[in-house]
């Protein structure tokens, strides 16, 4: 793993993303070609057999085998915290749910999964030796996490209470936004987080996605944080490409 960068991530800042896929090898081919990622040769069995993706030798994401076919094929965003147990308790107190209670991951850190009051799932990450992204905010790396909610007022209150410093503090980082589901998706789409990866050219990225067996879910549109298109990989995991 890269050196510990815990001080770089205020509580509530997106610090990691992973994809749960039926076929990790197919995922490596897809994302390796699309973003230029290289992958660790040995999976981290203590972390569910996940494989770290690297760009320029630095960690940028991970791919994990989906253990249960009933679970969705998804990208998950993890928010930094110095204390996953305390944050999980605050999630419950604010009306959310703890889907997977905090558990240690062999010195790498402590992980948990939670859901907000509308059911959008997100991760918590308390760093150990692995603080999170070694690179971000550049082509081929994480660039943004957008929550698509039915009730944005509720979302602003819930996440504002949990992650006040990251969202509103003097050193707030522009990595996480909230929007109505209907801004980009049909109204029947459930609330969810959408992970965005930076690209140099959105249209070129869409061409590569199609060539690799994925498809475009939402054509390019303009947002306050850049030009975005939503795509689905060759196994059904949705994510967005972003040019700022």
pTM of the model: 0.94
Tell me the mean pLDDT in the region 114-141: 97
**pLDDT for the residue numbered 7:** 47
Same domain, 87 and 150: no
Asked if pLDDT for residue 8 goes beyond 70, the answer is no
State residue 71's pLDDT score.
83
Q: What is the pLDDT of residues 45-103, one digit of tens each?
A: 655 678 999 999 999 999 999 988 788 999 999 999 999 999 999 999 999 999 999 99
Q: Give the pLDDT mean for 169-181.
A: 88
Query: Given this model, what pLDDT does residue 170 score?
Result: 82
Distance between CA atoms of 77 and 130, rounded to whole angstroms? 15
pLDDT, position 69: 78
- How many whole angstroms from its chain centre is CA 99? 16
Same domain, 55 and 83: yes
Within a domain: 1: no
164 vs 236, higher pLDDT: 236
Q: Tell me what percent of the residues of the chain surpass a pLDDT of 70.
A: 94
Could you report the per-residue pLDDT of 17-46, keeping only the tens digit for each? 999 999 999 999 999 999 999 999 876 665
Q: How many CB atoms lie within 10 A of CB 12?
A: 25
Q: For the domain that residue 213 is a member of, what is the CATH number?
A: 3.10.180.10
Q: Which of 70-74, 199-203, 225-229, 239-243 has the lowest mean pLDDT?
A: 70-74
Residue 112's pLDDT is what? 97
The verdict on 118 and 79 lying in the same domain is yes
Is residue 123 located within the same domain as residue 149? Answer: no
Segment 137-161 mean pLDDT: 97
Residue 225 pLDDT > 70: yes
Residues 71 and 182 in one domain: no
Which residue segment(s) compose the domain that 238 sits in? Answer: 142-243
- Answer yes or no: do 234 and 122 share one domain: no
Residue 132 included in any domain: no
Last residue of a domain, one of 70, 95, 127: 127
Q: Do 118 and 182 share a domain, yes or no?
A: no
- Is residue 186 one of the residues assigned to a domain? yes
Q: Which residues contact 102 (CB under 8 A, 6 or more apart)?
A: 84, 85, 88, 110, 111, 112, 124, 126
Residues 74 and 170 both lie in one domain: no
Q: Which of 102, 127, 152 is the last residue of a domain?
A: 127
Asked if residue 145 has pLDDT above 90, the reply is yes
- Any domain includes 23: yes
For residue 5, pLDDT over 50 is answered with no
173 domain-assigned: yes
Helices and strands, number each (H, E), in the chain: 5, 14
Number of domains in the chain: 2
Residue 136: inside a domain, yes or no?
A: no
Look at residues 101, 103, 109 and name the one whose alpha carbon lies nearest to residue 127: 109
Same domain, yes or no: 60 and 146: no
DSSP state of 25: H
In a domain, 202, yes or no: yes
Question: Is pLDDT at 174 greater than 70 in this prediction?
Answer: yes
Whole-angstrom CA distances from 155 to 70, 150, 197, 235 are 27, 9, 23, 29
* H helices present in 78-129, as ranges: 84-93
Average pLDDT over residues 112-127: 98
Same domain flag for 39 and 116: yes
The two tokens of residue 50 are 């996940």
Helix (H) / strand (E) element for 167: namely helix 164-168
Structural domain contains residue 137: no
Structure tokens at 48: 């569910």
Say yes or no: 74 and 185 in one domain: no
Sheet hosting strand 192-198, strand order edge to edge: 176-180, 142-149, 192-198, 238-243, 226-232, 215-223
Within this chain, do residues 217 and 106 fall inside the same structural domain, yes or no?
Answer: no
- Residue whose pair of structure tokens reads 């589901």 in the numeric block: 181
Which of 97, 127, 157 is the last residue in one of the domains?
127
Averaged pLDDT of the chain: 93
């Amino acid at each position: 793993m890269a050196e510990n960068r815990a001080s770089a991530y205020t509580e509530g800042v997106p610090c990691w993303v992973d994809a749960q896929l039926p076929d990790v090898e197919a995922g490596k081919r897809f994302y390796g070609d699309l973003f230029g990622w290289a992958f660790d040769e040995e999976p981290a069995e203590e972390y569910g057999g996940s494989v770290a993706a690297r760009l320029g030798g630095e960690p940028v994401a991970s791919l994990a085998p989906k253990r249960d076919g009933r679970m969705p094929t998804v990208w998950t965003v993890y928010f930094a915290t110095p204390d996953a147990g305390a944050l999980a308790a605050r999630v419950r107190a604010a009306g959310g749910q703890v889907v997977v209670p905090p558990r240690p991951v062999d010195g790498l850190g402590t992980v948990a999964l939670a859901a907000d009051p509308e059911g959008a799932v997100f991760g918590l990450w308390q760093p150990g030796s692995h603080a999170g992204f070694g690179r971000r905010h550049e082509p081929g790396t994480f660039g943004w996490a957008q929550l698509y909610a039915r009730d944005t007022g509720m979302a602003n209150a819930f996440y504002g209470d949990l992650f006040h410093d990251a969202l509103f503090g003097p050193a707030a980082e522009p990595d996480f936004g909230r929007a109505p589901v209907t801004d980009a998706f049909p109204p029947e789409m459930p609330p969810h987080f959408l992970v965005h990866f930076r690209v140099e050219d959105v249209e070129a990225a869409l061409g590569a996605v199609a060539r690799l067996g994925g498809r475009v879910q939402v054509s390019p549109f303009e947002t306050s944080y850049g030009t975005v298109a939503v795509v689905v990989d060759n196994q059904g995991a949705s994510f967005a490409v972003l040019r700022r």
